[in-house]
Amino acid sequence: MRTITFSDATLEAMKEEMRRDPTVFVYGEDIVRQGGIFGQFKGLPEEFGDRIRDVPISETAIIGAALGAALTGTRPVADMHFADFISVAYDELVNQIAKNRYMFGGQANIPLVVRAPDGIINQAAAQHSQSVEGWLMNVPGLILVAPSSPATAKGLLKSSIRQNDPVIFFEHKVLYPQKGPVPEGEYLTPLGKAEIRRPGTDVTVVTYSLMVQKCEEAAKALEAKGISVEIVDLLTLKPMDTATILDSVRKTHRCVVVHEGVVNGGLGAEIAARVQAEAFYHLDAPVLRVGAKDVPIPFSPPLEKYVAANLSDIERAVLRVLHREA
């Protein structure tokens, strides 16, 4: 199997879907002139012409136009530049796009994708470093996707573009240059289905996006102490594959949830609630959460490192649920 970057995997997905379906088009800031801020759109203008367009800096217009385009029979892919800027278009996203199909009795589909680069990277500071999936978990009508590797990025993006409901596609900025095996040819990764990234017997770690890699590193370190960690990679945050999480927890009897976003009100709280509601009598310890501290992401490199969840945080949480010294 060939090895390509996460960025190239998403680019390959876009090319395949745009060749397959002439109603798919892409637009955003600097994606023609610059190829996207992370190079994820390079080469598309040469092949697809005006089906890939630069637009003015107006997130309200970008997201509002996506709804209009979807309602008129096309499949827009709108790039947010940074996921943080979803806040500028919050009304269009949560009061229009998420609700439109319901409010009109299912008479129209809303087949659009919002690509949202997220996460902490290289001192991008408070307005360009956030993990914002927690903002949208509470909004019915949206599908939230978070790939963790080049292979899942390609398969999930293709599935998202073919969806008839709106998808927010979170792609961690640190992942773009990372390489991994990607199958040749056509394949889709199903939405709404988690994967067991690492089988284990002692504790279940539920995670997604970049934190899958950090959890794998922690699992290797813990293995040296005789601890077997099972890692559940969510891939789709909403709808969440609760069944896979519960099956794992019923096997290991312990659960730690890890994400890069702040712990307070984060996705970990929802997962912990589901596990304790559905698998309470299988638990030998409370569900623990690992995430960022409840402050804006600092510009200062040492402070950024201090605020973000790290390997030691994950290892300590696993040791705590196993009633071992952390």
pLDDT at 173 (0 to 100): 95
Run of H or E residues at 62:
helix 59-71
pTM across the whole model? 0.96
Catalytic site includes residue 128: yes
Buried b (16+ CB within 10 A) or exposed e, 310-320: eeebbbbbbbb
pLDDT at 326 (0 to 100): 57
Q: Beta strands of 36-181 (E only): which ranges?
A: 52-54, 75-79, 113-118, 143-145, 167-172, 179-181
Percent of the chain that is helix, strand, coil (3-state, to 5)? 40, 20, 40
Contact of 222 with 315, CB cutoff 8 Å = yes
CA distance 207 to 209: 7
pLDDT at 1 (0 to 100): 84
Of 128, 172, 253, 282, the catalytic one is 128
Domains within the chain, CATH numbers bracketed: 3-181 (3.40.50.970), 195-321 (3.40.50.920)
- Angle value at C-alpha 155, between 109 and 232, nearest 5 degrees: 105
Per-residue tens of pLDDT for the chain, all 326 residues: 899 999 999 999 999 999 999 999 999 999 998 888 888 999 899 999 999 999 999 999 999 999 999 999 999 999 999 999 999 999 999 999 999 999 999 999 999 999 999 999 988 888 988 999 999 999 999 999 999 999 999 999 999 999 999 999 999 999 999 999 999 989 999 999 999 999 999 999 999 999 999 999 999 999 999 999 999 999 999 999 999 999 999 999 999 999 999 999 999 999 999 999 999 999 999 999 999 999 999 999 999 999 999 999 999 999 999 998 75
Q: Are strands 255-262 and 288-292 parallel, antiparallel or unpaired?
A: parallel
Phi-psi region of 209 (alpha: psi -120 to 50; beta: other; left: phi over 0): left
